[in-house]
Chains A and B, each alone.
Chain A
Amino acid sequence: MIRILDISNHALFWYYLASNVAYLIMLIIALKTSATHQRRLESHRLNWIKDSPLAPPIAIIAPAHNEESSIRVAVRNLLDLDYPELEVIVVNDGSKDRTLEELREGFRLRQVRAVYVPEVKSALVRGLYRSDVDTRLVVVDKEPGGSKADAVNAGLNAVNSPYVCVVDADSVLERDALLRIMIPIMADPQRVVAVGGIIRVLNGSEIQCGTLRRVRLPPKSIEVIQVIEYLRAFLIGREAWAQGNMLTIISGAFGLFRTDLVRAVGGYRSRAIGEDFDLVARLHRHLLEKGADYQIRFVPDPMCWTEVPSDIKSLGRQRARWQKGLLDVLWPNRDMLFRPRYGRIGSFAFPYLWLFELFAPVVEILGIATIIVAACLGVLSREFALQFLLFGYAFATVISIGSVLQEEITYKRYNDWPDVVRLVSYCFLEHFPYRQLHMIWRLQGLWQYLRGDHVWRPLKRKGLESAQAR
């Protein structure tokens, strides 16, 4: 028994060490990449792209479900984005409120009997509308499909542009976000097939007429911790993975894809729990199987601001869903693991996700259990356990502060001193009890999935109007 505990504790030690070293490497890569990106941007005057006759057209798909209070502002915001060739496709996903009426009144929609080719499966489309106020706006009215993926698929069938950008209707895009996200594509349109943008936390910021006026840190602790998590995930994780062309997630709230490829893989999987992750995984598979020379890039500066859960219950549900989504994608793609055909994705990215993302809560709970048992049996070196705990704490803090530093030296959106002080303080405070709670939510997610609960459930959000009111 003691031997088993000893092995377990050693395994745990090396597991954490490997995980932390991986994060440290990512932090170093991300810092270097961001600096290079910033310098590269100096030669890209965004208005030159805006004036270019060669800027490829983009279709924005914004699914909307019961968004009557914010839909007008959100759509106006999308139409006001700086980009020369734009079409905006709003998908009314069976809203039971006045979403469609609001759009009809706000943009003088008229129903058109248009050709609709259902190349990608979705729930029944009831009608297509075109705006008389702004001809770039098309509204697809459809039966509720029960998922965002289904709504996006319906929008995808109405797209005429070579690139499609999927956004959440209740997110706020910065005005030049599309120009910035197109930079990698404009530089190498043959190889770059998709680009992910950064998602930032909207809670607490000031919005006026759908436009972000002032970036502030949210008031609640739970929201500030999510700010740090988002900075860590995007500015360190995704930046580093994308550098090695191993990006496996492009957030559903803001991502750009080549339309033909999304259609070629059958669009979004309607029943996927993490539809964004699922799509990117299928794109990798499709392109690797074809032996294509391609890149999926991440651009850290185009900003999409989105609302995050502001209460424990919603956050728990979201995190459980993310964990379910992870398993929902990794399991069907397990055949990609360690197969040379799938290159770096099969050799590094997916094994990392299995080991350090999917199994992490299980390892963590096992670790805690073995430490408790070892303590009860009196075989635990208290000194070592304490040191190990302290090391874990200090190291995790380095990574969190590193992500804040990354934000500071590159994009610096939190300008007020009190905000930065709070942000840094939470880098020290997030580890207890939030991290443990997070582990429980993730375990719940795994358990729900294994029990057969594969249903996609939308989260309750306050919406843009609440941010405006602040």
Chain B
Amino acid sequence: MESIFEKLWRLGPAAFVLKAIVAAILADALLLVFILLRRTYRKRFFAKRDRRVFELRQKWDALISGDIPYETWRKKSFDRRIVETIALDAFEAAGSEESARLLRFLRDSGLIEKRIFEARQLTGWRRMRALVALGRTRAPEGIPALAEALRDRDLEVRLAALRGLGRIACPEAGQEILTWLGESALSVPALPLQSALIQCCAERPQMLTSYVQHAEGPVRELLGRVLGEVATPSMGLDLLQFMGDEREELRAAAARAMSHAGSGLAFDVLNELARDPVWFVRLRAIVGLGGLCEPRAIPALMGGLVDSNRLVRLRAAEALVQLQAQMAQIFAQVVQTRDRYGLHAYLTALENADLREKLGRELQTSTEITEEQRGRLEKVLELGGLWPEDSAKTGNLPDKVALLP
């Protein structure tokens, strides 16, 4: 039997072109007809829908209170979709009292039950749609159906389930995600998973600790990052075990988490982590130290100011600038470091916070510095740079950093 290519070849250009013309003209006509019909259909559909939305909104209170029997609209899929959309949109923007009323309505009318059924029985995009709607209801009874969908073969369905569970945002939903994570490792992109876990574990972050301890590899890192986001002061002691972890992500998470812990415990840990060999661990520790707003943190922040990493320097400078009670002394110490990069970072943070003039006034009135120091510091502040002899330490570095103007 001849292949299609052989047939085409035998046709020759002339016959082929003739057929192609017919095909192309036919395609043009079909496309145009499709556009025309689709537009007409959509115009009618939206007009009908808008009319119905208006009607249903007019009697909304009667609808959700049950004065209008649910069966009157629930059996018509067109009406049901409209009612559900209005209810879910209102639910997302509602306060606690209104939310409770809407949730009661969603339950009593059977809309949640219907979505649970769809989330379990349907496949593909329709299942995905049901999962999203279920998440939007924030009803705990939807959690088992969403958890089942986490085990779906289709990544999009798994993601929809994850987003739904994240939206429900309760520890039970978090528990389901963590159990599934224990079974199947990382089978979805990290960011949506992290996002869902943060939402679910915010209320009870302690539930994460045991999972972090027993998890391995990328899951451990991911859970560490989540822990870093949701940790509370009461978890201080639990977090100590991670500061010496071999994974830098976990040490960084511990640093981030410690910034939420009580300052007494946090200070020593963050001080230690501020000397970590990995830059982003130091960065987290410096940000944490800055958050404590304690003069005790100044030496560690000074260390951060002369760090080899630009971001660490900038964050350290921002933290130092926030310690406004001791601006003059801190500035004197910054100049003493004789580090041009550190000085520039500090001056940038000062300018960004619009505190340059305040520092000028502090220098004039401070009793903590000598007259000679005062003149020198004022000059540095005015020039925005070190004296040539002062900058000897960084003189050999390439002149890559410029202070503007």
Contact = CB atoms under 8 A, between A and B. Distances in A.
Interface stretch (B297-305, B327-335, B345-353, B370-378): B345-353
B18 interface: yes
A188 B189 contact: yes
A115 B128 contact: no
Interface string B96-126: 0000000000000000000000000000010
B402 interface: yes
Interface in B161-214: 163, 166-167, 189-192, 194-195, 198
Nearest to B198: A53
A115 B345 contact: yes
Contacts of B352: 112, 114, 130, 135
A152 interface: no
Given A53-B198, A115-B344, A384 B17 contact: yes
B11 interface: no
A42 B85 CA distance: 13
Interface stretch (B23-31, B54-62, B232-240, B267-275): B23-31
B314 to A, nearest CB: 8
B348 A113 contact: yes
Nearest to A396: B24
B359 to A, nearest CB: 12
Interface string A107-139: 000111111111100000111101010010000
A331 interface: no
A118 B400 contact: yes
Contacts of A128: 404
A107 B301 CA distance: 33
A431 to B, nearest CB: 13
Nearest to B405: A127
A401 B20 CA distance: 17
Contacts of B192: 186-187
A43 B132 contact: yes
A309 interface: no
Given A52-B195, A127-B405, A187-B191, A408 B38 contact: yes
Interface residues of A, number: 56
B403 A116 contact: yes
A13 interface: yes
Interface in B379-401: 384, 400-401
A47 B24 CA distance: 43
A424 interface: yes
Given A47-B92, A188-B189, A405-B35, A42 B351 contact: no
B325 interface: no
A424 B35 contact: yes
B50 interface: no
Question: Which one of A125, A383, A398, A404 has the greatest number of beta carbons of chain B within 10 Å?
Answer: A398
A237 interface: no
Contact of A404 (B35, B159, B401): B35
Contact of A189 (B39, B156, B190): B190
Contact of A39 (B128, B314, B348): B128
A117 B401 contact: yes
A329 B172 CA distance: 55
**Interface residues on chain B, size class:** 35 or more
A408 to B, nearest CB: 5
B39 A112 contact: no
Interface in A409-424: 409, 417, 420, 424
A391 interface: yes
**Most A CB within 10 A of own CB, among B24, B160, B192, B195:** B24
B351 A116 contact: no
Interface in A396-455: 397-398, 401-402, 404-405, 408-409, 417, 420, 424
A387 B21 CA distance: 8
B310 A117 contact: yes
B45 to A, nearest CB: 13
Contacts of A188: 189
B17 A43 contact: no
B25 A43 contact: no
A266 to B, nearest CB: 15
Given A43-B163, A127-B404, A408 B35 contact: yes
A405 B32 CA distance: 8
B404 A42 contact: no
Interface string A38-58: 011011110110001110000
A116 B404 contact: yes
A132 B191 contact: no
A189 B189 contact: yes
Interface string A212-232: 000000000000000000000
A398 B27 contact: yes
A10 B39 contact: no
B129 interface: yes
Given A43-B131, A43-B163, A114-B404, A387 B35 contact: no
Contacts of A42: 125, 128-129, 132
Contacts of A54: 191, 194-195, 198, 229
Contacts of A116: 401-404
16 contacts: A43-B128, A43-B132, A45-B163, A113-B348, A113-B384, A114-B404, A115-B347, A130-B352, A186-B191, A187-B159, A189-B191, A384-B13, A384-B17, A402-B31, A409-B38, A424-B35
Given A43-B160, A118-B400, A186-B191, 13 more contacts: A43-B156, A47-B92, A112-B351, A114-B352, A115-B314, A115-B403, A117-B400, A119-B400, A125-B404, A127-B405, A130-B351, A404-B35, A405-B34
Q: Which 4 A-B pairs have the closest CB atoms?
A: A394-B24, A112-B351, A43-B160, A114-B348
